[in-house]
């Protein structure tokens, strides 16, 4: 469980295309939004079937924090964001290849609880409930899922009233930790996390209507470093594949039409 909740973690996976497609010693460094923490395990295992000689290294965190690292020279080849704005910002600043920007999935926001005393009749009722003394959400300044939660609460007229209950996670994984451990009675998290094999049997969740927040268009982009890395290009192509699309759907993401 600790891997879910760390702001950054490293996962090495060897991935799979025929040996003729990848030179020995190739590697790709992926910076990914924290909502992908479990989906990436499945994605990298599938990629391992295509590029067996490519080493994949992954760091996860809040999208905004990863952008700041890339701007400061962090050696990432590809950035998987929980929204489109952050990758576009990297393009605009000259840190990423505009031609590579790709929307590959759309995230979904849920209100999740592991507290048996919390009833999930509606989002407003749950937020106002006396059983919810602490309500978790991700940092609204650096985590797109936190921003989406704020938008939903504002549209429902509950943002001001929720202020005294808020517990803020640095990223969406830490937010999920607050709920999973009982340090928050409920929280707004990514559907992909509560559908993961490690959390799918814990607690109950209610989806937040998509018209309450701006679409969480998850976009990938090659950094300028990655634009010259054949392994990074191959990883980006894999994200568009049918195999990857099925994995995203399994974790609750919507996938854009081709």
What is the CATH number for 172? 3.40.190.10
Same domain, 96 and 222: yes
In this structure, is residue 25 part of a structural domain? Answer: yes
Is 80 exceeded by the pLDDT of residue 22? Answer: no
Residues 163 and 95 occupy one common structural domain? no
Query: Do residues 193 and 223 both lie within one domain?
Result: no
Structural domain tally of the chain?
Answer: 2
Residue 6, pLDDT > 50, answer no
Q: pLDDT tens digits, residue range 176-221?
A: 999 999 999 999 999 999 999 999 999 999 999 999 999 999 999 9
CB 138 within 8 A of CB 171: yes
Q: Which domain holds residue 178?
A: 108-212
**180 and 149 share a domain?**
yes
Q: In the predicted model, what is the mean pLDDT of the chain?
A: 91
User: What pLDDT score was predicted for residue 258?
Assistant: 72
Instruction: Identify any residues that bridge with 220 across adjacent strands, giving them in sequence order.
Output: 80, 102
The CA distance from 169 to 29, in Å, is: 25
48-93 confidence digits (pLDDT tens): 999 999 999 999 999 999 999 999 999 999 999 999 999 999 999 9
Residue 19: pLDDT band by 50, 70, 90 thresholds? very low
Residues 40 and 101 in one domain: yes
Count of alpha carbons within 13 Å of 30, Cβ hemisphere only?
Answer: 32
Do residue 205 and residue 114 come from a single domain? yes
Residue 171 three-state SS? coil
Angle of helix 242-250 relative to helix 230-239, nearest 10 degrees, comes to 60
The two tokens of residue 1 are: 């469980």
Q: What is the DSSP letter of 164?
A: G
- Provide the pLDDT for residue 257: 82
Q: Indicate whether 245 and 202 sit together in one domain.
A: no
Regarding whether 115 and 92 lie in a shared domain, the answer is no
In this prediction, residues 25-41 reach a mean pLDDT of 93
**Of 96, 166, 108, 99, which Cα lies nearest the Cα of 138?**
166
Answer yes or no: is pLDDT of 253 > 50: yes
Residues 95, 223 within the same domain: yes
CB neighbour list of residue 138: distance below 8 Å, 6 or more residues apart: 62, 145, 146, 149, 168, 169, 170, 171, 172, 174, 175, 188, 189
Does residue 128 sit in the same domain as residue 180?
A: yes
Alpha carbon distance 20, 143 (integer Å): 39
Residue 25: per-residue pLDDT: 56
Secondary structure class of 88 (helix, strand, coil): helix
- State whether 187 and 173 are in the same domain: yes
**Section 235-247 average pLDDT:** 96
Number of neighbouring beta carbons within 10 Å of residue 256: 13
In angstroms and rounded to an integer, the radius of gyration of the C-alpha atoms of the chain is 18
Other Cβ atoms within 10 Å of 17 Cβ, number = 18
């Amino acid at each position: 469980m600790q891997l879910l909740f760390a702001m950054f973690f490293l996962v090495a996976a060897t991935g799979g295309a025929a040996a003729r497609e990848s030179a020995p010693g190739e590697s790709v460094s992926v910076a990914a939004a924290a909502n992908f923490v479990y989906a990436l395990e499945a994605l990298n295992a599938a990629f391992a079937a295509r590029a067996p000689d490519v080493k994949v290294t992954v760091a996860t965190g809040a999208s905004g924090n990863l952008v700041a690292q890339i701007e400061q020279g962090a050696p990432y080849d590809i950035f998987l964001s929980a929204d489109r704005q952050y990758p576009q910002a990297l393009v605009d600043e000259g840190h990423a290849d505009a031609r590579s920007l790709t929307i590959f999935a759309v995230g979904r926001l849920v209100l999740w609880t592991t507290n048996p005393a919390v009833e999930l009749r509606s989002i407003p009722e749950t937020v106002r409930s006396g059983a919810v003394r602490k309500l978790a959400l991700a940092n609204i300044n650096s985590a797109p899922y936190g921003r989406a939660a704020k938008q939903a609460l504002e549209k429902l007229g509950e943002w001001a009233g929720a202020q005294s209950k808020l517990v803020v996670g640095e990223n969406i994984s830490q937010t999920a930790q607050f709920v999973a451990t009982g340090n928050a009675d409920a929280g707004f998290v990514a559907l992909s996390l509560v559908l993961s094999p490690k959390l799918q049997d814990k607690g109950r969740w209610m989806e937040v209507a998509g018209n309450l927040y701006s679409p969480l268009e998850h976009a990938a982009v090659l950094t300028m470093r990655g634009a010259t890395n054949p392994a990074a290009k191959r990883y980006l192509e894999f994200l568009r594949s049918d195999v990857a699309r099925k994995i995203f759907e399994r974790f609750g993401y919507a996938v854009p039409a081709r």
